[in-house]
Each structure stands twice: as C-alpha cells, then as structure tokens.
Structure 1
Amino acid sequence: MRWEGNRQSRNVEDRRSGSGGLGGRSLGIGSIVIALVAGWIFGINPMTILGFMESATPPATQQQSTVTTDPLDDRMGQFVSTVLADTEDVWSDIFRQAGATYQEPRLVLFRDATPTSCGTGQAAMGPFYCPADGTVYIDLSFYEELKNRLGAPGEFAQAYVIAHEVGHHIQRLMGTTQKLDSLRSRISQAEYNQLSVRLELQADCYAGVWGHHADRQRQILENGDIEAAMNAAARIGDDALQRSAGQVVRPESFTHGTSAQRQRWFQRGLSSGDMGACDTFATQAL
C-alpha cells in the first residue's frame, strides 16, 4: 500500500506512553472474559459487547495520562495517522458533494487499557469506535494478532480495520447507530444480533467506499492489497472466529456477519464507491 509522504491527521491522540489512565483500577474478571470471547472481532462497540461496561470506573473519575505527539514518531503511528487523514479527505468530499459537512472523528492509540466515554477500553476488545465521544480506539498490538494469530498480514488489511471503524462514525453521523440503539430494549437479543450484523456489514461496505475513492484520488493500492483486505475480512467473520476457537458455529449468536458476507459487502463498496450501495438494512439477502 502506498501511503508514505501523504498527509497525517491532527486528530490522533497517542496514549501509549501513559499508564492507561485507570488509576490502578481495571475491569472485573467477568467483563474481561466477555471481552476476550469477542476480542478478535474488530469493530466491537463496548456499549454492545459489555453493556456499557458497568464494572468499569466512570470516565469522569478516572485519572488520564496521555502523551500526544505531532507528528507521531514511529512508523506504525504514522501509518495510522496517514490512513485516518485519508478517510478524512474522502469522506469530507463525499459529504460536501451531498451538501453536508463532515465531522472528523478522533483516534486514540493506547496500550492495554484506556478510559473512554463508553467505559474502559481494553486491548482484548480489539479496535472499536465509541459513539459517545466520536472516537476510534486502537491498541496497535492488534495488528500483530491480525497478522500472526489470524493470518491476515498486509498494510491495506490494517487500513481496512481503521476504515471499518470510521464507517461506524459515518453511521453515527447518519443517525443509523442511534436508530439501532433505540430498538435495543424493545427487541430480543437474537433480533438485535441480526440488526448488529447489518450494522457491521454496512461499516465494511463504507470501508470499501473509502478504498475506492482513496485509490482513484491517490493511487494507494498495490498488487495484492485487495486480496489482503479480503483475506482479513474472511478471517474475522463470525463463523471463522467461532471455528478457530474450537466452537460450534451458532448463526443466532453472530453480531458481525459471516466471512463471505464481510467480503461481499467490502467488495461492494470498493467496486462501486457509492454509499447508496451500502444499505444493508434494505435487503433480504446479505
């Protein structure tokens, strides 16, 4: 993937040199176990997975230690900042063409754990987006897990992770997230899981929309990049993750979609570059 020399975002906060801002308090063991079960599915919303993480200390009472560098002084930090900037450019253009103004998300790099407006973020949860503070959170050790444990190497695969989380930000700006949250107390868990799958697949499609426009504008893709992202999508499908954990595949428990579905919707966005092609809620066949 070609990214060196491109603009870096100023919306990145680097907390990796801090203590995680937990003031010595961490999650209860039950919450951590739940997080570990879902840990390798990126894009997990802690509000969904951990029920607002009730065992965590509220963010307002936590001591936060952060170190912000501009520009980031390590290659992986620079990569993340550059990809985020690229999503800013693409989505700003798309929103402008629709007569709207794009509100850029923040991105926080952390190590092990960090406070968020959705509760305490843990590395075991994988990268996630918190709609309450409009921020993407990433512990960069996830990329090693993506490469070594899940068998999905490649920079465009890593960029896909970021673009997926930004896709959740787009959903919040469009009101999709709020509509889903409003239904949570009125439907069964199985029904909510089905809607969650559609939400996640739409974020995959939005990630593909970003890739389409980023490549047309800046020629970021090299040979093998699309295959790397498609491989990542396959590795983090609910069915693949359940099999790799030695579990029986249980479709009723899916929250993100199968490998085939994740590949299909990412490819749909990548091929079309059209947000309108990403309406996963209006189709019967995912």
Structure 2
Amino acid sequence: MEQIAAEELNVPIDMVECRRVTDTETNPYDWNTVASKLTWMAGNATIRAARNMVKQMKRLAAAVLHSAPEFLGHKDGYIYNLHRPEQRIAYKDLALGYMFPNGSGIGGPLISHGICMADGLTNLHPETGQGYPAAVWTFGCHAVDIEVDIESGDIHVKKIASAFDIGQVINKKFVYGQVCGGIVQGIGSAILEGYKFSDENVLLNPSFTDNKIPTMKDMPDEIVPIYIENKQYNGPYGARGIGEHTMISVPSAIANAVYDALGINFYRLPLTPENVMLGILSGKKDIY
C-alpha cells in the first residue's frame, strides 16, 4: 500500500508510512481475510484516498500560488505551477493548513480516505449453485518435476513452475515471495502434513515433531515463476490478487506427477514415504 500511495502522491516510497493498527473496536468490519482481495480492495481504496489528498492539496495551494488547481502539478513532495515550476509549496507546509508570512492562515489539517466496495456480488443459489460470489478471478496452474524413491517412498520435488494471470505485477519481489510461500505450503500439504487420530478421536500428533511442516530441505531445486499480465479493468493499475492461488493446485500437481511415475492414483493426502510405500506394496492402481 505504501508503494501505491507513493505512486499516486508522486513521492519516494520512504516518504510514505503505512500504519497498521488492528483494533476491532474502531476498524471497519470485514467478513474474513480470504479471497486474495487485499491488493484489489485495499489497493483501490489507497488510490482513491491518495488522489483525493492530491486534490485537497492543489485546492489549498491554488489559493497561495494564485493559480487554478488544474494548472498545478505534484512531484517529490511539492505542489508546483506547471508553467512556472519555481513557484511551489511543500506538502508538509500544507499538511496543517497554510500560514502566510503575516500570520494569517487558510485551510486546516489535510485528511483523506478511500473506499472500495465490491458491487454486484451475491451468495450462491442454494439449488443451482450459481451466483456472483467474487468481483475478480485469478487463473493459473502448476507443473512439477519429481523423483520418487521406490525403495523408500520418498518424494523429492525437483522443479516446479507456477503460472498465473495476475493482471499487473505491482511489486515483483512481493509476488515472487507469495509464489514461493504458496509452493512450500502446497508441498507441505502434499507430502508432509496430516493429522492422525486414535479410535477414540484423540489427536496423536499434536506437535511439529510428529506433524511436520516443510523446511529448507523440502524446497524444490528450482522454482519457475511465470506472470501473465492481462490487466483487470477494475483493479489497482490492472492488478488481481494472488494469495491462495499459489498453493491450491500444488498438491494436485504433485499427486498427478506421482501417478505419472508409479501408475498409482492417490486420492488421500499426505503422500508421506509410508503412505507411498503402502500404495506400492498394495499393488492397487487407486488408493483411497
């Protein structure tokens, strides 16, 4: 959000600070932290808030510079006259209103807000399953290259490609981090993580000692991120969300690769060495 605000205010990103205060007493209600909607919704809200702030600053600066707001530009922390750039006022001198040399002042604290609401959404129809539950859809896929040790059942992911149409890449490093994080989480779901219960429904592996999560040794040898930029008409700079997408299809891709390697369809996760060996020794083609 800092990057988006800096883009709209036309200032270096180090001039923008995003305060993250989470307080359910004062924060607006939100249904849930799901649907990869932060970039789309908060990004659009940030753009609108920043653009409104620029308008406020230009209106105030216009009175000081004796110019119409439409003849003013903004860059590097200054509002300036487009025809006489030397005539300018710093954002900081407008933040609390402007004071003239004679002590008189105009304006007041500059406060702006932006709102993004997803319009036209509906719940799914209870009979047909049809509806409009989301404003934006992100499409993508994964492809994996694995090795399976048929003597131990161990699966090693050698290479994985992650391709998504995310509209517009706003921050390539952040997107790459999201891709890597989702891939590792998907690998965990595919070959490591799983709860075990006794006949009395008592959890038998309640810690990371027995219910393992991925570590660096479980990382693929190579990750190939592929970003397809087909801009979303109502996204911030054309962006779509990329959250859950980077993880969801990884287990399926790995299971399909195991089928390609062994000819066995595993319909139950995780594909731990134990479960893979039991599948091999069973002689069955479908493991439920």
Q: Normalization by structure 2: what TM-score?
A: 0.23
Q: Which structure's residues are more often strand, by fraction?
A: 2
Higher relative contact order (CA 8 A, sep 6+): 1
Answer with 1 or 2: which has the greater Rg: 2
**More helix, by proportion:** 1
